[in-house]
Amino acid sequence: MAMGFTRFVEYLPGDPVPNDALPIRFPDIRERTGIEARHFAGPGDTIESMAVEASRRLFDALNIDGNDCSGLVLATSCVPNKDKAVRAMAVRVARVLGIDAASAEGVNFACSGFPKAVSVALERAHPRDAGRRRGADRHTLVIASERMHDLVDFSDESTAILFGDGAAATSLSPDGPHTILQAKAWEVEDCDCLIELKPALAMDIDGSVRSRHCVHMKGGPLYVDAPVSMFRIVREMMEEQRHSIAELGMIAHHQANGKFAKKLEKLRKRNGWDHVRVLDGIGRRGNVASASIPAVLAQFEQELPAGMIVACPTKGAGPDLRRGSLTEGIVLFRARGGFNLRAAAG
């Protein structure tokens, strides 16, 4: 039984914050990153509340509720998953939405959280034990929710100009119009410690300073390596799944920096993939980590190429943003084009 995505929705908290409204005005942000604005969660916007809001928007789009869902997977980069902390969040979100809490799972796979969450959702929708197929014909929610500003030192130009907050959601269903072909994510070694969480005397979003843990990045090497890696992942996964590049219509990559899209465009043209479109949706939301792919798919959902494969590659921080680890991943799905509310509702 093939599973497919139904709809993609996003939730962005508060009003857009333009580049000149950041605590420190760094120069040429739009020219350097493609980012014009981002959203920041307010005191009442938690990872859980944003996940609930995105899910409710999905429910409204599909005309369903929690009774129509057999499971939930929550991805976030902002909570260490020690002692299953993210799963505890997922359980609370499930209870609010009226979904069986025992069916909730949480993952912290950082920038590759979306493909990781989809792979977990597929496993739950297709249990190896056929006797556990209860609910396999219903929706399994996949939600990514991020409060990245909690991990940003707003005096650090390498991160302050990039990150935003928000959530995005989709569901998997046998009747989902966008058939999932593959979803996987894995760790790779980060010998140069390009991304990690480090203690710092850091500036908060209000300009105050306090000691806390913040994301530290070596941007230059990342901007060179990550697009090349994501292009390679797409090519290798298409070959592994025995699909021709002629079937590939769109690349919806991890939206970390506008430079990624420009580099992928160059690689696309250099390799003769002239028919493939590279999505760039970072301008109005910034880097929302694990939510970046479902968010950009929500933005461009009406333009998904009917009958063609959409590749969603990732390359970025490791689980819990720990030192010495990066993640990679990919989701492949065949788009029906636009969406079909009757089919998506199941």
> How many CA atoms are closer than 13 Å to the CA of 112, on its beta-carbon side?
29
The candidate with the shortest Cα–Cα distance to 251, out of 232, 227, 234, 270, is 234
Q: Taking the CB of residue 1, how many other CB atoms lie within 10 A of it?
A: 8
For residue 341, the model assigns a pLDDT of: 42
Q: Which amino acid is located at 298 in the chain?
A: A
Provide Rg for the chain, Cα atoms.
19
What is the spatial distance between Cα 221 and Cα 219, in angstroms, rounded to a whole number?
Answer: 6
Alpha helices for the chain (secondary structure H): 29-33, 47-62, 85-97, 113-125, 157-160, 219-240, 258-270, 292-299, 341-345
Does 1-346 carry CATH code 3.40.47.10?
Answer: yes
What is the spatial distance between Cα 346 and Cα 340, in angstroms, rounded to a whole number?
Answer: 10
- Give the burial class of 88: count Cβ atoms within 10 A of its Cβ; 0-12 exposed, 13-18 middle, 19 or more buried: middle
Would you say 161 and 146 are in contact if contact means Cβ atoms under 8 Å apart? no
For residue 124, the model assigns a pLDDT of: 85
The candidate with the shortest Cα–Cα distance to 72, out of 92, 43, 50, 46, is 92
Domain map (residue ranges) of the chain = 1-346
Taking each helix axis from N to C terminus, what angle separates 85-97 and 47-62, rounded to the nearest 10 degrees? Answer: 40
pLDDT (tens place) for every residue of the chain, 346 residues total: 689 999 999 999 999 999 999 999 999 999 999 999 999 999 999 999 999 999 999 999 999 999 999 999 999 999 877 768 999 999 999 999 999 999 999 999 999 999 999 999 999 886 444 334 444 458 999 999 999 999 999 999 999 999 999 999 999 999 899 999 999 999 999 989 999 999 999 999 999 999 999 999 987 888 889 999 999 999 999 999 999 999 999 999 999 999 999 999 999 999 999 999 999 999 999 999 999 999 999 999 999 999 999 999 999 999 999 999 999 999 999 999 655 443 343 3
For residue 126, the model assigns a pLDDT of: 60
Q: Taking the CB of residue 15, how many other CB atoms lie within 10 A of it?
A: 11
Q: Which amino acid is located at 278 in the chain?
A: V
Would you say 146 and 40 are in contact if contact means Cβ atoms under 8 Å apart? no
For residue 137, the model assigns a pLDDT of: 58
Question: 3: which residues sit within 8 A by CB, 6+ positions away?
Answer: 122, 125, 126, 172, 173, 174, 176, 179, 180
Would you say 36 and 202 are in contact if contact means Cβ atoms under 8 Å apart? no
The candidate with the shortest Cα–Cα distance to 253, out of 284, 279, 226, 273, is 279
Assign residue 123 a region (left: φ > 0; alpha: ψ between -120 and 50; beta: otherwise): alpha
